Amino acid sequence: MSAPVAVEAYELTRRFGDFTAVDAITFQVAEGEVFGFLGANGAGKTTAIRMLTGLLAPTSGRARVAGHDVYTETEEIKRSIGYMSQRFSLYEDLTARENIRLYGGIYGLTDAQVRARTAELLRRLGLEPYADAPVRSLPLGWKQKLAFSVAMIHEPRVVFLDEPTGGVDPITRRQFWEMIYDAAEGGTTVFVTTHYMDEAEYCDRVSIMVDGRIAALGTPRELKERFGVESMDEVFVRLARPEAGAEDAS
């Protein structure tokens, strides 16, 4: 791979007792890439993301995020990544402005930087009229876009999005993906998990996890060609639920 590497994992493994949640996964994500991290529930995606974000120590294997080691440099990792969890991660009783200021402060932005970012962000999202209303009064779509912008407030090198579009309407999802592309164009690596296979098509490359292992890795087009199917949906079904795929084929 010619571009600089933003995230790399080599035989990264995490066991909980006898259960191997993540089983020796190996992959690389280039800088500025939109990397789709797919898998059925319980396939090990969340555990993998927790290791990459420094929340969980790996059992074995190696991994570096934004050039920092996941064993020894978790503090550096935390400073260079953004994170948006599958649950809405802003404070509902605080206003949009206050949420931005809070996370700006947490990520070490100066007061002047926070003011500038806040103004720019509110303008871009068209949130200016609602900047001082509690976030709970905003529609879900706007909340998600705001949450993404807040995760990007410190211009991280890598942003982890854990099912960012759950429960969001199709139009908002499209807008959301435009924001993701903007971020990637700005040089941020986007590491995104999703259950929507149309979203998988938007990614530069996707990996599909099955039972803790990476069962497939490549561009959406490569994967579709390899399995001889028309959509990512079919690729996913073949891999994640082989018996269902076999039924389809028969």
Partner 1 sequence: MSPLRGFVLKEFRHILRDRQTLVILLLLPLAQVVLFGFALRTDVRGVRLLVVDPVPDAATLALRGRFEATDVFRVVRVLPTTDDLAGWFRRGEADQALVMGPRFAQTLARGEGAQVLVVTDATDPNTGSTMQAYAAAVVQGYERELRAARPGTPAPGVEIVPETRMRFNPTLESVNLFIPGLIALVLTVVSALMSAISLSREKERGTMEVLLVSPLRPWQIIVGKVLPYLALGFGNVLSVLGAAWLVFRVPFRGSVLLLLAECLLFIVTSLALGVLIAARTGSQRTAMMGALMGLMLPTTILSGMIFPISSMPAWLQPVTHLVPGKWFILISRGIMLKGVGLEHLWRETLVLAVMTLLLLVAAVRSFDVRLD
Which residues are 161's β-sheet partners? 84, 192
Query: What b/e string do you get for 140-151 counting C-beta neighbours within 10 Å, with b at 16 or more?
Result: ebbbbbbbbbbb
As a whole number of angstroms, the distance between CA 226 and CA 173 comes to: 28
According to the binding rule CB under 8 A, does residue 83 interact with partner 1?
yes
Strands 189-193 and 60-65, by their bridges, are unpaired
Pattern 158-187, binding to partner 1, x per CB under 8 A?
--x---------------------------
Q: 88 exposed, middle or buried (CB, 10 Å; 0-12, 13-18, 19+)?
A: middle
Candidates 44, 61, 104, 220; binder of partner 1 (CB under 8 A) is 104
According to the binding rule CB under 8 A, does residue 98 interact with partner 1?
yes
Candidates 7, 35, 68, 107; binder of partner 1 (CB under 8 A) is 107
Candidates 75, 171, 230, 250; binder of partner 1 (CB under 8 A) is 75
Candidates 55, 119, 131, 217; binder of partner 1 (CB under 8 A) is 55
According to the binding rule CB under 8 A, does residue 117 interact with partner 1?
no
| Residue whose CB is less far from partner 1, 151 or 216 | 151
Candidates 6, 23, 53, 157; binder of partner 1 (CB under 8 A) is 53
Name which of 134, 127, 54, 125 is nearest 94 in CA terms: 134
**Could you tell me the smallest distance in angstroms from the CB atom of residue 134 to partner 1?**
8
As a whole number of angstroms, the distance between CA 127 and CA 139 comes to: 11
